[in-house]
Amino acid sequence: MELRQLEYFLAVVEEGSFTRAAARSFMVQSSLSASLLALERDLGTELFIRGRRGAELTDAGRAFLEPARAALAEADRGRDAVAEVKGLLRGSVRIAAVAVPRSVDVVPTIRRFREQHPGVDLQVVPVGARDMTALVADGQVDFAIAPRVERMSSALRFESLVSTPLVLVCPTGHRLAGAADVKAEEVIDESIIDLPRGWRARELFDGLMAEQGLQRRVGLEINDWLGVLTMVQRGMGISYGPHACVDVDMFRSLDVATMVGAPVWELGIVSRDETLRGAAGRAFLAAYLAQCRDRRSG
């Protein structure tokens, strides 16, 4: 069994097909398939059900999934440990992130880090807040820039970066634009553009409505924060979200309104114990936190 076979196996699992996995691995499909057939012969069982719908895991494949991930993670840690001894920085950094305020934008850190450490591969994974904590807990990402959620594993820790109240987001000229202390019942009949369930801002807004005993109809959901702001700017309705995440420089036709009893949305770093991250992950996180501190002090 070779590490590259484990990499191909996980590529097929994550991509859902041999064709896409081969493209991701920069190789022809026949070579990838042959390598995985050799792995199946070595294990004495089939790992995939091959069909028109792509590649699905067999029971044996599902049982093999976590050990394969663990083996590759251990191999990466071994390479990183040797690189640290030699004074080098290599490896990869995977970050899960939501749309964040400019004050904690990760892009400047990515730019400088790539210039300083060209041998490190960087990947930013956009996923929902609940999925982020699972990715961190499973070791599939080094850390996440994510909202604080109500239930978080004791194996994870949260370092706060931003705390900001939930506000209403309105197109300029709307009756609520710029209003202060809007009551929940004042928006119940508005056309509200919602974020999907599982987003922390949606949970907070639904919780505020529930506290007031209000029921509303969800007519439109957008699974993208910038998409929500675009729809509001075009007059499709009003929405809600963290005040610090409403970029009025980018969206000049938007305004906000504060709400009575508005809950606080908190953004921070979700991570595991330091010893579970590689050298590249630790170095990137340190650089990012230093950037955030510099911006706050500035």
Contact 169, 229 (CB under 8 A): yes
pLDDT at 37: 92
The sign of the torsion formed by the CA atoms of 201, 203, 205, 208 equals negative
DSSP-derived 3-state class of residue 239: strand
Task: List the one residue out of 179, 291, 159, 166 whose CA is nearest residue 240.
Answer: 166
pLDDT at 90: 67
What are the chain's domains? 1-84 (1.10.10.10), 163-266 (3.40.190.10)
Q: Report the distance separating Cα 3 and Cα 76, nearest Å.
A: 10
pTM confidence score: 0.66
Task: List the one residue out of 240, 163, 230 whose CA is nearest residue 207.
Answer: 240
- Residues in the chain, overall count: 298
Report, as ranges of residue numbers, the positions in the chain whose pLDDT lies below 50.
Answer: 276
* DSSP letter, residue 133: H
Tokens coding 210: 């529930």
Q: Report the distance separating Cα 10 and Cα 27, nearest Å.
A: 15
Angle at 240 between CA 236 and CA 241, to 5 degrees: 130
Residues sharing a CB contact under 8 Å with residue 287, sequence separation 6 or more, in sequence order: 109, 112, 113
